[in-house]
Amino acid sequence: MDGAKVKVGQTFPLEIKRMGINGEGIGYHKQTVVFTHGALSGEEVVAKVTKVFPNYCVAKVEKIKRQSEFRVTPPCPVYETCGGCELQHLKYSAQLDLKKDLLIQALEKHTKFNIKKLKIRETIGMEEPFRYRGKSQFQARMVDGKLRTGLYARESHELVPIEDCLVQDARTVELTNAARDILNQLGVKAYDERKKTGDIRTIVVRVGVKTGEAQLVLVTTNKHFNGRRSFIEEITKQFPNLVSIMQNVKEDDSSLIFGPETEKLFGQEQMTEELSELKFDLSARAFFQLNPSQTEKLYEEVLKALTLTGEESLVDAYSGAGTIGLYLARKVREVRGMDVVEEAVLDATRNAQKNGIKNASYTVGTAEQVFHSWQDEGYKPDIVVVDPPRTGLESGLLRSILQVKPKQLVYVSCNPSTLARDLAQLEKRYRIRYLQPVDMFPMTAQVECVVKLTLKSNPKKK
């Protein structure tokens, strides 16, 4: 393939063969792969090249000559410019089919498995695929002299101001907009990366879908900003359900949302959310699934993937606020969890106490380090449940799992590519029973997956 065969600005007819991991259509022009934003499988379009690379090019749709039966009109007014969603133009039932296919694509690319022999189930979706996100992170920028909030345009740092976001719980948007308006009234400025001026970087809001509680986090450049006390007085007057206001200080310009220092400005350091029959206290930086209703379905699939007698010892790797381990705790003898974020471990410990769970303990550290230290102590779990970040399993943890050989392993993944990479290693000692995709993020190209693995009795040497 040679990207030099096409040039930026060139247009040509293109037949879309498949859709890719970012929700783009994939076609071929003169043996060059063309990734086309906004195109759907089976469509014939006129594509206009926007970027050229050695082995592929990127294009946009200029005209649709043959339209897919699954194309729908996106309901969001800023869908074309905002980078938050990729699939609003695709019928929801077809989104679920696509997410299963994205898993298959990753397995084809990163493994040598016989895909036809793998049991890949249909994607578990939502009845109502909008208004599901219980947490928002809106960037702040100065636009025409006013502090505005929104999301970045696709592949840029240009802010798209947003008054409403259809995948967000409406309460998160309402609170974000109110915070923005009060900051404007007080003359507080958004941070400017180029000029290194201003205070507000990001406004983070989390609401308890079941509890109704809300937490607001202002991510700022400086520890102190003018009008802070007036802001607290006004926002708490407008929102009596606001139980926690935190300020996180981030001085550098890295791509991370949060900095290392967090201070309580009002109320409690945590807010409470419920999941199944459990209550969880969540601090500002604690990880908690963004789609609570689907999270219950996801964890139910984790439970279904396990064979339990009540005597098992279980490791909850990448435990966050302890959600998965505590969900399973009453069905096993012992739960051990670990997380690199100290606040999350404190949350998990408190959450165990809050729910009267005495057989769960949590340790600060990387999954690799903590698991290895337990291994040195002679501890061998019966079950390991892993729910790693998008980067997948740490190599040391992967090696440790293959050495310790727990009988049951459940892999909860948010990234098909790293899942496939890790399964290629785990398959040396584990049999992949099935993969169950779950749609945690409708309207986006992201897919979560629960994989059931059991130890092979006689693994083949490789």
pLDDT value for 462: 47
Whether the CB-CB separation of 394 and 367 falls below 8 Å is answered with: yes
Write the pLDDT tens digit of every residue in 281-322.
888 888 788 998 899 999 999 999 999 999 999 999 999 889
Tell the burial category of 69 from Cβ atoms under 10 Å away from its Cβ (0-12, 13-18, 19+).
exposed
Write the pLDDT tens digit of every residue in 33-67.
999 999 999 999 999 999 999 999 999 999 999 99
- Angle (CA) 165-171-173 rounded to 5° is 35
Give the single-character DSSP code of 440.
S
pLDDT value for 460: 58
pLDDT value for 83: 81
Task: Report how far Cα 305 is from the mean position of its chain's Cα atoms.
Answer: 22
Between the alpha carbon of residue 306 and those of residues 120, 264, 362, 377, 409, the distances in Å are 17, 40, 21, 26, 8
pLDDT < 70 stretches in the chain: 1-4, 459-462
- Short-list 292, 200, 191, 208, CA closest to 244: 208
Tell the burial category of 461 from Cβ atoms under 10 Å away from its Cβ (0-12, 13-18, 19+).
exposed
Task: Name, in order, each residue with C-beta under 8 angstroms of 171's C-beta and a sequence gap of 6 or more.
Answer: 205, 207, 214
Tell the burial category of 151 from Cβ atoms under 10 Å away from its Cβ (0-12, 13-18, 19+).
buried
Write the pLDDT tens digit of every residue in 221-250.
999 998 999 999 999 999 999 999 999 999
Q: Which residues carry out catalysis?
A: 414
Whether the CB-CB separation of 228 and 189 falls below 8 Å is answered with: no
Whether the CB-CB separation of 290 and 440 falls below 8 Å is answered with: yes
